[in-house]
Structure 1
Amino acid sequence: MKKSYILLFLILANLFWAGNYIFGKYVVAELSPIQLTFSRWLIAVILLFPLAHWIEKPDWKRVWKAWKTLWLMGMLGIIGYNFFLYWALTYTTSMNAALVNSINPAVIVLFSVLLLKENISFLHVMGLILSLFGVLLVLTKGHLQTIFHLTFNKGDLLMILAILVWTFYSLIAKKLKNIPAISATAVSVLLGLIVAAPFAFSSGLNLDLSNQAMVGILYIGIFPSVGSFIFWNISLRHIDASQAGVYLNLIVVFTAILSLMLGQNITIVQILGGLLVFSGVYLTTKKKKDNKAVVSA
């Protein structure tokens, strides 16, 4: 495949993920986090199974044999992460959520060292520290002394919880071998939906939605949930995961651009914090050529 096509796929994947933060902010005004999470993946699962069968042609019996691991992945990465993400968006801005989420790769590296005993270089340690400092700037709006007074935005703290949930999902995903990625995602989504369904329905699904919310749900269910994942995995067949991982920083860039287009303000502190996060994440992913990158959106 031509390098230009791979570049295009990576750009589109991250553009779609950025849209998840923007549209998610609007939809949570009409749907609860659990309702939005359920609706999103209900749309996605209808598309994921036929696409997995068409693109990967998996041995479904073999895939379903790993149902326990896939169920846990569904609870963490499919339901848990997205639930906390949308809950966070009810309290914080799309930009702040995207910025805090940028520390995800660095946190995964840290927990991989602590739990999986993976090696980490001094460069990676510096990257972790730099990323953490950048996120703290965003959380405290540049007033680092507020750390001692615990005056963080609730949404920003929920995003940190979302990151931790995704980190454990990622550690489990690293151990899941010999199962095609889209097929594994399809089964994880289905198992997660089965568990989430009673909570979504008991909370009373709101069917009287505005046109804006309907468009948002369709976008989230199709583009970030299906389109981004397929583009990402096609790209990983042709380049190293560590190379592709650098493009994850585009999520915040696109979120910032979309936020500005919608009239939202971006502060100098957010820009500075974002730059520090970018720099830190770049250092933590540099020379990491053996590990697969795991994506959140």
Structure 2
Amino acid sequence: MKTRTAILLTIPPMLWAGNAIVGRMVAPDVPPVMLNFLRWAIALVLLLPLAGPVFRGDSGLWLNWKRFAVLGLLGIGLYNALQYLALQSSTPINVTLVASGMPVWMMLTGWLFFGAGVSRRQVAGAVLSIAGVLLVLARGELAHLMEMRLVAGDLFMILATIAWSLYSWLLTRTTGPADIRSNWASFLLAQVAFGAVWSGVFAAGEAALSPATINWSWKLGAALAYVAIGPAIIAFRCWGAGVQQAGPAVAAFFVNLTPLFTALLSSLILGEAPHFYHAIAFMLIVGGIIISSGRATARR
């Protein structure tokens, strides 16, 4: 695997770790599905100056609108809404740890729906990488691992992970028109446009079922700016490029870096120094990435 590809796939977990913490922090101030809608509405506005022509009548978007509507549903409408729902009842570390099952779901999704094979390297890498995640969860002690209990948020996150697996595989199957594929902002805006619509529909449903007010403040404004620019625009740009280069199955292993980054950020916010087991977990997770990507690297 090229260094550039590895960097592209490492940036999203770092930003998503911050997304989990920020989502948990503002949970009392804004309903989860509404938070997702506001996030992508802001991202849509920010992308318009970069790729506004994508909405022209002669744009290839309209010939491929069904494909982009599905990408927007899975990667933006469902995944992020389910993650923010999960953060209502689960901790950021637990949410990102549940998402660490991504390599398994990615392999199953590719095998069941996209005719992808599963190599021994991928299985070995998944075991090693998940071992590192469990080490973070246990905080270096087996007793802590045995005390963990699943809550509703964890189940929401499992559904989110499945949606993200389908989204990632569809990215590699989405050729699309040249005027959109040639510009990363156009390709992302085509997804965000439909994703914002899906998010708006879901937010309207949330408001109808459980009316809740938004407590506006500078903290919420800063949080919205972060989740719209970092975990949304930058992370999606890097993830899309990384998946195209490495493939969904290999890219999925990088998601396992998210719990580690989440633990480190949580420690910094709480004023606690990282522990020795974080370093061991990091080596296990990276080892899983190296093993799983070894075959692809050899082919290249």
Query: Do they superpose with TM above 0.5?
Result: yes
Question: Residue type of the partner of 1:191?
Answer: V
Question: Residue type of the partner of 1:252?
Answer: P
Which position in structure 1 is the counterpart of 2:47? 48
Q: SS at 2:61's partner residue?
A: helix
- Please tell me the root mean square deviation across aligned C-alpha atoms, in Å: 4.0
Distance 2:43 2:107 in 1: 29
Which position in structure 2 is the counterpart of 1:15? 14
CA contact (8 A) 2:37 2:199 kept: yes
Q: CA deviation at 1:146?
A: 6.3
Which position in structure 2 is the counterpart of 1:24? 23
Which position in structure 2 is the counterpart of 1:102? 100
Q: CA deviation at 1:12?
A: 5.1
Which position in structure 2 is the counterpart of 1:283? 291
Partner residue of 1:64 out of 62, 68, 80: 62
Which position in structure 2 is the counterpart of 1:115? 113
| 1:209-288 alignment, distance < 5 Å | 209-232=216-239, 236=242, 240-241=245-246, 245=251, 248-263=255-270, 276-288=284-296
Q: CA deviation at 1:77?
A: 1.6
Distance 2:3 2:70 in 1: 37
User: Is 109-118 or 131-140 further displaced after alignment?
Assistant: 131-140
User: Is 128-137 or 64-73 further displaced after alignment?
Assistant: 128-137
Q: CA deviation at 1:247?
A: 5.5
Q: CA deviation at 1:201?
A: 4.2
Give the structure with the higher percent helix: 2
Q: CA deviation at 1:78?
A: 0.7
TM-score (normalised: structure 1) = 0.75
| 1:134-149 alignment, distance < 5 Å | 142=142
Question: Residue type of the partner of 1:44?
Answer: A
Q: CA deviation at 1:182?
A: 1.8
- Sort the Cα spacing of 1:75 and 1:232 in 2 relative to 1 into closer, same or farther, 3 A: closer
Q: CA deviation at 1:273?
A: 6.5
- Sort the Cα spacing of 1:247 and 1:140 in 2 relative to 1 into closer, same or farther, 3 A: closer
Distance 1:59 1:267 in 2: 56
Distance 2:16 2:155 in 1: 21
| 1:189-200 alignment, distance < 5 Å | 189-200=195-206
Which position in structure 1 is the counterpart of 2:191? 185
Question: Residue type of the partner of 2:195?
Answer: V
CA contact (8 A) 1:34 1:199 kept: no
Partner residue of 1:157 out of 150, 155, 158: 155
Distance 1:88 1:183 in 2: 26
Q: CA deviation at 1:45?
A: 1.3
1:133-178 per-position Cα deviation (integer Å, ceiling 9, x unaligned): 566677788469969xx94233333322211121122233332113
Which position in structure 2 is the counterpart of 1:206? 213
Q: SS at 2:124's partner residue?
A: helix
Q: How many pairs align? A: 283
Question: Residue type of the partner of 2:191?
Answer: T
Q: CA deviation at 1:254?
A: 2.9
